[in-house]
Structure 1
Amino acid sequence: MSKIVFFICVVGLLVPATLVAKVEKVTLKGAIKGLGNEELILMNSDRSEITRTKTKNDHFEIVTEVETGDLRYYILYAPSVGPLGPSMAIPTIHFFIDSPKITVVAELKDKQMRLKSLKGSPGWEEHNRILESLPSSLTIQKVYDRYNQAFHEYNEVEQTEENMKELKAASHAVDVLQGQRREEIFGLLPQYTTSMPFAVIISSYFGIDNIDEAEKVWNQFDPSIRHCYALKQLENLIQRGKNCAVGHEAPNFELITSTGGKIALSSLRGKYVLIDFWASWCGPCRREIPNIKKIYAEFKDKGLQVVGVSIDSSDKAWKKALEEENMDYLQLYDPEGITSKLYNYNGIPFIILISPEGIILEKGLRGENIREKITEYLK
């Protein structure tokens, strides 16, 4: 039985709760070929656990109550396949639950779970229909197969000049395809301003670097579907982006230091502060560290404080990286990802510069551009 939740007011219009929130009892069943008899966890979009079960000869059935009215992604996670987070394993599949009966068919192969089909979801059907209507859909599989093969040949077979050349060409083809696909999707927006599946698709293209464009797109969707989970997340992204935009006061945080104490960002007022958000497992982050060390050595006596903020989930991995990199500037630890929410970043390294008054001056700095910007301010 459905539970109807309130009425809400959107842009001055009363929208019935049946279009906004709908928590109901659902039956989720299916099979994950190759999983066998293992634990399976149903999670919300934020990875919070809803319930868990155990598969029997690949098959499972879950009966529970979930939100079905906002077209959010749900996640099935098999811990035996691998951990959540960065890994070569893919222990999850993502899908919609927007009707009382959903049937999942998936496959586990080479430590990677793949969704093969989803039955009973009107939203999933429309989502796939839209993507399949794109001209780029005719070549997408071929392009990605070429890239995967080139990646395998270079990294697993032999690192020859010829294999690297093919990998670069395949990578370029992927970039071109992604650009084409983006243009096709954005071109469809006027036709789908009342489509939640389309909102899910286009919302995935936005991050911290294009907040203004995100707001323009969000404004084009009809108020009747702004309860859609993807649009609510996009609205939140826009607001967070504005709160930590260049020219705004840097959001304060307090984190653990490498020596076990605690320090707040606000305590560093009076100096220019360069913050590098990084992690031990991030290759580009590690490659940027020598450059940051040089910058710190050059400007530390001229009014610059450098801060490294690790988002490692493992304290052991973080401390091991600190020893290996021998960084002599302030190091802080953020295993809960507090700063990613405050500063709206979803990729690392993410490097920002803050004024002595605590105002964000620059964001997304990399390489030589870091020194150039610091030099502009510390003349």
Structure 2
Amino acid sequence: MQTLQSLLAHLPKHGADVDAQKAAQAVLKYFNNAAHLHHEDEEQNLLPMLQATARGADATLLAELAPVILAGHEQMDRDWTILKSPLEQIANGAGSTLSASDVARFCDAYAAHMVMEETNIATMAKRLFSPEQMAQLGSAMQVRRGITPALPESQVPEQQAAAVTPAVVDGVVLADLRLDYGRASLTENDVLDDPIAQFGKWFEEAIHAKVNEPNAMSVATVDADGKPSSRIVLIKQFDQRGFTWYTNYESQKGRQLRANPHAALLFFWSELERQIRIEGKVVQTAAEESDQYFYSRPVKSQIAAIASQQSAPIANREQMEVNFDAAAAVGGDHPLRPAQWGGYRLDPERIEFWQGRRSRFHDRIVYLKQADGSWVKQRLQP
């Protein structure tokens, strides 16, 4: 900033002399490279790590500051675009004019950003981050700048190690695909006594951290012959009764659940390096609950549920569209929930919380439901 402001004062007296050209070159070098990398540090590492770690007042403050910081990045990028062209002309000796208002606007925005970062963001990170998190953050910043990190390559998500053995997929040996984890830890004292409440706590943190589709879960079922299958569905409700989703009762999973009502759910939130495994017995929800959810859906989604015989073969997409149009013509704006469509609720018997750690030495805390309905928790080895 000082170099840019000094250049602004220098130009009216000396024009684009050698000193002015060197100053312009220095400003261009920094803001074309280092400043952009600094923005990426915040957007791709620092802020997401803080959002996954901050709690209480820190989380509230971060929720207020993060949008301001991101908007500041965009504003500084726009202001820099305005300054860049005249600076390039000065650096080449082809121009000698800078707008004082453009320089002032850019410098003011940059100074305000630095104050916010140093006063709040950086101090919060130093206070909240573990030594492992600080090391991972520093290594990610080094990789972004082409510097060999202090951590082993396997512990730096931003670094892709080159394959040294014959390729399997796109030049990458599948056995070498691994990321080491280090955002957080999980102890017996970290988790709540009630696993449903603990699930709610982690789910809220996943939403706060802007995890991609935190409500997406794998549902694994087994048919009458003991053959398993799994698919991704969206959880729609969870409470002390269990975990609820909606589907067609005549689908593959519906038929399998009739034959074997036990199932397993899996949530994986890579952004937080967490997964939750849930196992138990599945029952259909009451018709009133299925109605309530069905009629809360968009009308076209209701029609799609009516038109589709889920998991059944069909000749082509065109036939599906014909079926949809036919269902829409009958149902109109108020289609009725078909009897074969409704909810399933898994009553959990086992819930495991998994937090990724370095060197595959992960943290695992499992809750087991007892005969009286109470829960016992214990640590499992990774």
TM > 0.5: no
Q: Which has the larger radius of gyration?
A: 2
Q: Per residue, is there more helix in 1 or in 2? A: 2
TM-score normalized with structure 2 length: 0.26
The structure with higher relative contact order (CA 8 Å, sep 6+) is 2
Q: Per residue, is there more strand in 1 or in 2? A: 1
TM-score normalized with structure 1 length: 0.26
